[in-house]
Structures are given as C-alpha cells and as structure tokens.
Chains A and B, each alone.
Chain A
Amino acid sequence: MKSIVYLHEIADEDRERVGGKSLALAAMARDRMNVPDAACITAEVYTDYVTTTGLSERILLELGRKDFEEMRWEEMWDASLRIRNMFLNTPIPIRLSAILRDAIEGRFKGKAVVIRSSAPGEDSARASFAGLHESYVNVTGTDSIMEHIRLVWASLWSDAALLYRQELGLNFEKSTMAVLVQEMVVGGESGVAFGQNPNDESQAVIEAVYGLNQGLVDGTVEPDRWILDRKTGEIISHSPAHREKAILPTPEGVRPEPLTSTEVDTPPLDGKRIQKVFDLALGAERLFGAPQDVEWTFSRDLLYVLQSRPITTRRTGEPTDNRAWYLSLRRSFQNLKTLRRRIEKELIPAMVEEAQSLSRQDAAKLPDMELAAEIARRSQIHERWVKIYWSDFIPFAHGARLFGQVYNDTVRPTDPYEFIDLLGSTNMASLERNRMLEEMAGMIRENPRFAESLRNQKKDFDPGFTKVLGEFMERFGDLFQGLAQSTKQREAICRLLLEMASRAPTDEGRRSKDVEALKNNFLSHFEGEQKGEAAELLDLGRASYRLRDDDNIYLGRIERQMLAAIDEGRRRIENRDALDAKHISTKELVKTLEDPSYVPKRYHTAKRATSDDELKARQLVGQPAGPGIAKGKARVILDPSDLFDFKSKEILVCDAVEPQMTFVVPLSAGIVERRGGMLIHGAIIAREYGLPCVTGVPNATSLIHTGDEVTVDGYLGIVVVG
C-alpha cells in the first residue's frame, strides 16, 4: 500500500489512488506551472482506516436503513451527521497514524497547510462534486492536520454529496477519498477562472476577491467579475463588486475582515494581472485538453494555481441538476444572521398579517363568482408562501445544523443529537397552545364538577374556566381541521380536554437544569472573543430550531384560510349540482363556480392492489428521533377527523406530524412518522415532551393499523408491530 505520495511522484496511473484534484496539480507541477508543494494521502489509507475500524460497514448500515432513493434531504442530513460523528469518535489506528504523522512532520513541520478532498472517480464531465466535499484552510501542527484529515474523509458523506449521488443514481458502496495536504499560500488577491463561460462558449470568466479564496467559494464575499473574449483575451465587461471584506488567515483558520478604503475603491486585479490569470486558464486548458475551472491566488507578484478541474458541461436539453440548491442548504454564520433578520423582521410578521387579513374576509358570505375569485387568490397567496418556505425558511434550518456541527466538533458527545436538547425549551407557538390546553385540563382535574358539566355539554358553569376557554378559542379556535363551525370546534376541544384530564399532568421544565449544564459545558470550550461567538451561534441555532416549528404553524394558518374557501366552494357545488365534490381540483372548482353549466373533471384515487396473501409488518426501521421506549395501541391518522378519537397513551402514527396535529402529542405515549428527519416538526415536539419517536418509517400508515399493539424504540429507531 502506498500511503503518501508527493506531487512530483504522482503519475497518470495513480488516478484511482490520488483522485482527480491531486492528479491535475501533479500534471501542472510537471508542466512547470506555479503550484504549492503538496502531499497526497491516498485513497488506500482511507480504505484501510474504515475497514480496520469497522466504520465502513457502520456507514453502509446507516445508509441502508431504507431504500436510498426514498431518503429525504433531512434524513440525508441526519445520516450525514451521524456518520460525521462516527469519524470524530473513531481514532486512526496507531500503525496507520504513525506513518502519516512521520510524513506530515517531515514535510510540513511549522508550516500552515490547506487540506483538500480529492475523491477518485467522482468528478467527471457528467458529475461535478465541486464544493460538496470539505476543504480546510490554514491548518497548522501535526495533531490538527491529522484531525482535519479525518474531517475531510467524513465529508465524503456530507449531506450535499449524498443528495448529489442520489440524484445522479451513483453507487456509493465503493466510494473512497484521497486527501491533499497542500502548503498554504497566503495570497493578497485570489479567485477563480473559467476558461470557457458555461453560458457562452466564445467567452472566458474571471472572478477575483481580496484575501483568500474561501469567501468567494462559499459565497460570503462578492467577487469582481470580468468577461473576456476567449480568442483575443480582450475584456468585454467588468462587473465590480460591492467590496466590503476579505477572508484573512488567523492563527487558527480564517475570518472575514473589513477592507481598507483603498481596497474598497480598487478592483482586486488590474489589466496586466487579468491577462496573467487568463493565460493561466488557457495554459491549463492546453495541458488537459479541455476548458478548465481554475482556482488561483497572487502572493506578492507570483501567481499560484491552487486547483484545476474540467468545467462540467451538459448537453442542451439535459435536465440540470439541483447541486446549487443542495449547496444553498449549507450557509455561513454571516449569511444565516442576515437570513434570520429577514425572516424574523419581515417574513413572519408579513405571514401573520396575511393570515389575519384573509380571516377577516368570510368566504361563506361571498356570491359564487366572487368566491371563485377568492379561491384563486388564496391559492396564489398560499403558493407564494410555499415558495418562500423553500427559498428562505428551509435554508434557515441550517442554523440548527450549523450549531449541531460546531457542538459535535467541540464537545464530541457520544449521542450526536445531544445538541438538540440545548436548542429546545424555547417558546414555540405550538407549545404555547399546548400549555393553555394543559392549564384547562388541570382545572378539570381539580374540579370533578367541571368534567361532569362538560360531559353534559353545559356552558358557563364556571366563570374562570369560561374565560380561559374563551381566550383559547380566540387564539387557537381552529384546532380541529375540517370543523368549520365554532360550536363543533368547542365540542371537540372539550372532548379533548376531558381526555387530557383523565391522565396525569405532563411534567414541564423537567430538563431546564440539564439544559443549563449542557450550555455551560459547551461554552467552557471557548475563550475570549470566541466565547461570545459561540453564544451567538447558540442563539442563532435556537432561533432556527424554533422556526422549524413556528413556520409550519404560520404557513398552516394561511393554508387553513385557503382550505376554508375551497371547502365553501365544494359545499356549494354539492348543494347546487348534487355531486360529490371531494375529488375536484381547485382549478376545476373555480371554473364550476364561475360557470354553473360547466361539468368538472374529477381525479381518480388510486386503488390498492389486492392479493390473497396478507403482508404484515413485524419490525420497521426508521430513524431514532427521540430516545425512550413506549408500548401502546396505534392510532393511525389518515384524515384529520381521526384525531377526534385520540385516546390517552396511544401511539400517534402518521404520515407527517402536521402543526395542527401537535395538540394530541402530550396525550400520546410515542410517535411514529413516515417523514424522516431530526429537525422535522414531529421530532421537535416529541423531544420537547420527552416522547420516544421514530421518524422516516416507509409506508408507516399503511403497514400499521389503528388498534395494533406497537412498541416504539426511540433509541434504535425501530417500531415493532404486534
């Protein structure tokens, strides 16, 4: 086995051992281009490490919990987080680490390095893993370099890389990773060059920033951009950036710093240097026989090439992949802080306002034509918010993820989800609703007379209770979906309260002390300025976590207003034309309301294939999303009306815990959900109430039936039926 090869030793036949990035740098070094000194830790070392430690099979077991095709992005992230933690907690065996340490000390003692991924076999003309694996800049000292090598290995399983493999249908069983340890060049100006503009073959593109390249690559620093004529090298256009900051090295790592006033006013490259970078891109293209995407930096007057790879090309008409969106799910701290302000100060208030203004318009009072217009309007409004949900709210979920990663890197807990306990216990809208319910249930528990009166459907038997119930109805009076009338809502809520009162009160605040201890322990790993940043990150993580719950509630309010109008429309058609309007789409509904002579098309509901044999689930595997074990009868929610019958200590089984369902959570003994993930609504609420929870169970609602005895193993993520 060849563990380490130096740049000058790498030959073309080493491709599978060193990966495309190392191979390209070696070729450029041979061609006398200015390349920083580097060593490659071969893919064989990775394979040796994951095989001897058993990590290889643990990873495949983790990813084999369900059909890879069926995994959602949130499940990918969870799998990725667990795998990363496995790497963090699995030291490199002494035999292997001794070889690596010797080589690193011999070559890079006292020098700062950049540690880059160089995965063999994955970068090709069809697929580009650019940016999906990690690189670490400005790492010094053998211990730290060794540590970061493991992190680069772990990034072979980053969520973005997993999502990309899923989309392209790539097999990951044999995936390996070589690591490039490259001497750090502290450049004053850096950037990327595309030998050919992906949007116009006659052009080349150069982007440049002050300082290091990282800010440009991860999107925190906006670059100046030049478009050049590929044939003549003439500059066609220059788009100056709004120059503010540069990424500069610190004793450990990098950080953004403000630019000097001269830098703010001057583009990072002048004409002569632009030509130099352009020549470099063309030189690389000549060497590799295809247009290249080159990363470069100027250190004093010397131009270095840091890496080069072929530009990924797609034939026209071929669907473009979603790599950019996957990458957008990973955001920097700065970027998230900006996003938080936008969400908290603009989007959420606008959403609340939107729902309120919709609720002021009573759909039932509109004549048919206006109702049709109102249905169309509300659908559009809802659609617009769903888009915002995907473009802003979901990426903001990364705040919790970013915190989780930092927490796991510093604290190294054995439970990779320990950080969630630290994020919880914040004021979530759904918890406030449940607290009010619990308060009323408490009043009933203490006054048996109340229960009696409620059972006999008496009203106003106690002024105190009437007041609290009135307040609750005011704020959350649309608790049960599908019950338009407030009297029916009241009845259903009273029934729920009686059920809640029949069991012991939930123990609130039981974790507040642990949370304080976890927080102090986390912060104790930081000193000085870093401590403040860590606290700020925790705050951001909490906001992000809370929003994962609240955004659903707010979006739910808008959705309910839309559904109220649609229901009203359906009801009218049913009365007017005596037809079953259940399976008519919104568009068809609008048309039928506008034109009484129009006959709406209906969509067909799929029939289940029947067979004489009976298929039963015995043990289903999902993800462990809330620790603990619970046994009970299943209550499968196929329709919102199934919630009416929910009994204390039942197991809630559903496709996804929708925000409007969470009021039954305190009644339940455990949760099973088809939708997977740790940061999804159901998992968050389950964790808040300390309930065992398993998410990501394929076909949960069809394989489990109401009344089945179910055991929820929230430690292992298993559901046993029967």
Chain B
Amino acid sequence: MKSAWEMRKALKDLFNAQHLGVLATQGGGQPYSSLVAFAATDDLKYLVFATTRATRKYANLSSESRVAMLIDNRTNQDSDFHNAMAVTAMGTAEEVKDSEKDQLVKRYLAKHPYLEGFVTAPTCALLKVRVDKYYLVSRFQNVMELHLKP
C-alpha cells in the first residue's frame, strides 16, 4: 500500500463486496458488539446502518456516540490468514436527519433491497458513522491507517 488512493480503492472494493460489519458501541464502560448491514458513501466519509430504537446498541449510542466498526472478508478457512483483509473504522455515529434521509435510504437499499420493510418502519432509525480513521489489516499483520480530512 503506497498511497492514500490505493488504500481508498482497497476499502471501496471491500465495502462493495461485504454486506455485514461488526459495530462496537459501549454502555457504562462495557463494550458491546453487534452485527449490522452497512453501506458506505462514495467518498468513504460515512458508513450507514439501520437499527430499531429499542435495541441495546441504539441505547448505547444515545449516551456515547463514539463507535468502531469492523468489516472484513474472511471465509472461515485456513487461507484467511494470508488472504483476508479486515478494516476497522473509527468515528462518531448520529441519526440521519430528515433532510438527507431520502438519499441515504436510497443508497442503503440499493445495497440491501431485502431490508426495505425494515428501514421504512416507523420504529427503525437510520444512522451514519462519520469516519475519522480507517485501519486496514492485510497479509496477516500489515496495518495501514487512513486519516480522513475533517
């Protein structure tokens, strides 16, 4: 990985190929992780996911908006050790405002059409994570960081 451009490309390819990521939140100092269906914006600044408002992660996010998210392409085989790539995104989550909701829902459903009923339900919230940094782990132990321009 020689340039920011190269890393961006690797991130985009990974995000396009993967449907699920692991979201880490915390409540009262206790970390909590959950699997979420995500979509990334083209500029990689935001990762979008949906959750109903009654969930533990939603409660956690209400008191602590700082999150991490793990997205990887492991296949649960030996070859993962040399082939798999894992990305950790660090950022802050917030609920999507009405003004941008249509556009982000469209984006989200383009990737997850089967979630239409879920996303449009009145109890469901669409959230976006504003990403500050990406950590990309490849070749087992190679770690590169991409710090996004604020």
Chain A interface (Cβ < 8 Å from any Cβ of B): 51, 54, 56-57, 60-61, 63-66, 173, 609, 611-621, 698-699, 702, 716, 718
Contacts and interface: CB of A to CB of B under 8 A. Distances in A.
Contacts of B79: 57, 60, 173
Given A60-B79, A615-B1, A617-B144, 12 more contacts: A51-B78, A57-B78, A66-B139, A609-B3, A612-B149, A613-B8, A613-B149, A615-B3, A618-B143, A620-B142, A621-B140, A698-B2
B144 A616 contact: yes
Nearest to A720: B143
B146 A613 contact: yes
B123 to A, nearest CB: 37
A621 B139 contact: yes
A56 B83 CA distance: 13
Contacts of B140: 61, 64, 621
Contacts of B81: 57, 60-61
Contact of B82 (A60, A614, A620): A60
Contact of A619 (B7, B78, B82, B143): B143
A616 B145 contact: yes
Contacts of B142: 619-621
Interface of B: 1-5, 7-8, 78-79, 81-83, 135, 139-149
A61 B146 contact: no
B147 A614 contact: yes
| The 9 A-B residue pairs with the shortest CB-CB distance in the complex, in nearest-first order | A64-B82, A619-B143, A618-B143, A57-B78, A611-B4, A612-B149, A613-B4, A614-B147, A616-B145
21 contacts: A51-B78, A57-B78, A57-B81, A61-B81, A173-B79, A611-B3, A611-B4, A612-B149, A613-B147, A614-B147, A614-B149, A615-B4, A615-B146, A617-B144, A618-B145, A619-B141, A619-B142, A619-B143, A620-B142, A716-B141, A718-B141
A613 B7 CA distance: 10
Contacts of A65: 139
Nearest to B2: A699
SS of A interface (majority): mixed
A695 B4 CA distance: 24
Contacts of A618: 135, 143-145
A65 B140 CA distance: 8
Q: Is the interface of B mostly helix, strand, loop or mixed?
A: mixed
Listed residue (B78, B82, B140) with the most chain A CB atoms within 10 angstroms of its CB: B82
Contact of A609 (B5, B78, B83, B146): B5
A64 B79 CA distance: 11
A39 B5 CA distance: 54
Given A57-B78, A60-B82, A64-B82, A614 B146 contact: yes
B94 to A, nearest CB: 22
Contacts of B144: 615-618
A702 B4 CA distance: 13
B145 A61 contact: no
Nearest to B136: A618
A617 B135 CA distance: 9
A167 B149 CA distance: 40
A422 B84 CA distance: 38
Nearest to A615: B4
A609 B140 CA distance: 28
Contact of A614 (B4, B5, B83, B139): B4
Contacts of B82: 57, 60-61, 63-64
Contacts of B8: 613
Contacts of A617: 143-145
Contacts of A619: 141-143
A699 to B, nearest CB: 6
B11 to A, nearest CB: 11
Contacts of A614: 4, 146-147, 149
A70 to B, nearest CB: 11
Nearest to B6: A615
A615 B139 contact: no
Nearest to A611: B4
A620 B137 CA distance: 10
A722 to B, nearest CB: 9
Given A611-B4, A615-B1, A615-B4, A54 B145 contact: no
B5 A611 contact: yes
Contacts of B2: 698-699, 702
A61 B135 CA distance: 20
A379 to B, nearest CB: 32
Most buried by B among A56, A173, A613: A613
A699 B142 CA distance: 13
A612 B141 CA distance: 26
Contacts of A616: 144-147
Contacts of A716: 141
